Structure 1
């Protein structure tokens, strides 16, 4: 009799809990805590037992900029702008695919607690954080690390990310969407006052990556329209193994020219990192950024390019330089959130990374 009463009590509690979930557990898109696309959230850096396949990680750092600051608030703004995305309406009609309802466990990993006081310490924190995150096991295959999409932050946050990826995959192809080269040598920022730390900025991090041997000879800039100090800037860029596609090329030569140029340069079966500086877009579509340049890409052009190269093997990615203090009606953050959606779609649609791409001699995960 007692066992029957206990069983009835358990059943009644279960029904009550289910009833509460039905009544109160479904929120509208503008309600609840703003994780990216309403994804499950845990602080990946402090919960090592929680595995995931793809993580969204914020990197709120902006003290390596050369013009307007404010990108430390980018991760929060991108998350806020992503609230129209969620699994029930996550079908990407351009890709004919819903990344939120597929094989991958996708998680909002929170932010790396980056110091705003000391850049040397900040880069140490970012280096260690990306190493730690890539030391985890992917849920779909314990022989593979997870993949990350970083929400910047200024563009220098790319460097710690690819340093960690290099330890797993070896040298990476970099596909770089940006108005600026970001391969400038430190002496192109003329100043009497220089230190090793000040040499690393959001305009020199790709130069630094080349110096450290992190990149291959298959690297592409898309959307370049920056002002130069001289043609020597292009010579320096050439010496670092970059193919340049200018912003004007997409309308003078057409989107297919750009797509073909990318795919003819970067082999689809090799580890590739995609970095999107939101200033690749025209300022009319991305006013909330630190270093604007006129005559950029339209959002539809950027999205079309990303969708047309989704057969590349993307092992990591970022969206950077969103500075919401200069934004208008969340235009910039909204476009950044869409970029994350496209990158996420490509990663999940492509499937898990081939284990043969992992550098067995230097891999850092268990």
Structure 2
């Protein structure tokens, strides 16, 4: 079916790449560039409101058509939305998120709370465009997403770690950030991750469980219909893609078919953090629950449904639910994941057609990924031993 030892310290990495800066987008024609001083031949980049849209205006490269290009972190789109149960439109999510990310580095891109600049670091970061995805055959579309993701994931990274990595073959692999797309895409992405890492722990930000049995969610009239944005974790558990009893939902507030849905969720290996818990334990309590559940050494996949946010902050989503977190709360919680071994991420269910013309949802999605991108940069190209050492430093800092 699917043919297709200590940490390399950031000081050492920065020294090794002393001259490596993230390249800005350049202007359209040399004749239109201005001289910063008379005769010095200076250049001017496009303004943040002009030029083509890439994530945060980082360099674009069609990575799927060039096997030689290398990167440490890559953004890739998966424009798929035919697994939705309510509002379609997330096929436009990748382009919408890129549009919402334009001003991320308007003032240089420095992340003040995390004390790092993900746009100017040891890491080479590229926007690799989108995976070609058919809108006429879900089974084939999911195969395209898996294969496209795996082609990029299995590539040699730009920066090498000297110690054994956490993949099956002991290599340090590049990290991928996928722009969805409805939440069905997480299943093929986890299949790709499994090929490289084996079963992984999952942090799942969402208002919905997404572990429903197909007969409960959608009726399962066919094998193809049984895989959708409410059942993909059920299938992932059945396929052995999840590390048992180390997965966690955060932000849950959905209605259920009955208490048995929670029982089934437990069979899939998840712990649940309800959205309303933030009122009692605050963001620090949410962060602690997540960190205690997944640890810091084993590989972790992060999946973020934008409907974790209340519709007041993110109206443009496939299945909105009131009573959610604010954008500030979600960004604070994600920053609290520093030190966790995030190997890949997706953000899903951004459907720009339902947004306001102020781009509330697409900006929120871009800002959330900015935090994730900063976490990955701060983590460095790490090994198991390095993960332990960084956790010790985090605990001392706390």
- TM-score (norm: length of structure 1): 0.89
* Structure 1 consecutive aligned stretches of length 4 or more whose deviation exceeds 4 Å: 16-24
Q: How far apart in 2 are the matches of 1:64 and 1:349?
A: 35
Counterpart-to-counterpart distance in 2, 1:76 and 1:270: 32
Q: For residues 151 and 177 of structure 2, what CA distance do their matches in structure 1 show?
A: 15
SS at match of 1:187: coil
Q: Is the 8 A contact 2:181 2:349 kept in 1?
A: yes
1:355 Cα deviation from its structure 2 partner: 6.8
Q: How far does residue 25 in structure 1 lie from its aligned partner after superposition?
A: 3.6
Q: 2:61: which partner in 1?
A: 42
In structure 2, the partner of 1:278 is 306
* 2:53/2:102 contact within 8 Å kept: yes
Deviation per CA, 1:69-93, whole angstroms, max 9, x where unpaired? Answer: 0000011010001000238521001
- SS of structure 1 residue aligned to 2:178: strand
1:317-356 alignment, distance < 5 Å: 317-328=345-356, 329-354=358-383
User: Gaps spanning 5+ residues in structure 2: where?
Assistant: 1-28, 36-41, 162-170, 387-398
- Report if the CA contact (8 A) 1:92-1:345 is conserved: yes
- SS of residue in 2 equivalent to 1:245: strand
Higher helix share: 1
Is the Cα contact below 8 Å between 2:153 and 2:173 reproduced in 1? yes
- 2:156 matched to 1:137? yes
**Which residue matches 1:148?**
176
TM-score by length of 2: 0.82
String of CA shifts for 1:6-47, please: whole Å, max 9, x gaps: xxxxxxxxxx97995756642211111111111100111111
Distance 1:214 1:190, change over 3 A: closer
Counterpart pick for 1:118 among 113, 118, 137? 137
1:31-180 matches, within 5 Å, as 31-86=50-105, 89-141=108-160, 143-180=171-208
In the TM superposition, what is the alpha-carbon distance from 1:160 to its structure 2 partner? 1.3
Deviations 1:46-69 (A, max 9, x none): 111101110000110000001110
Residue of structure 2 aligned with 1:211, choices 238, 241, 245: 238
Larger-Rg structure? 1
- The CA deviation at 1:237 is 0.3
- In the TM superposition, residue 296 of structure 1 has moved relative to its aligned partner by 0.3
Return 154-163 or 282-291, whichever deviates more: 154-163
Alignment of 1:18-29 (within 5 A): 20=33, 22=35, 25-29=44-48
Conserved in 2, the CA contact under 8 Å of 1:74 and 1:322? Answer: yes
Number of the residue aligned with 1:5: none
Alignment RMSD = 1.9
1:292 pairs with 2:320 = yes
Deviation of residue 332 (structure 1)? 0.5
Query: For 1:120 and 1:151, how far apart are their aligned partners in 2?
Result: 19
**How far apart, CA to CA, are the structure 2 residues paired with 1:65 and 1:267?**
32
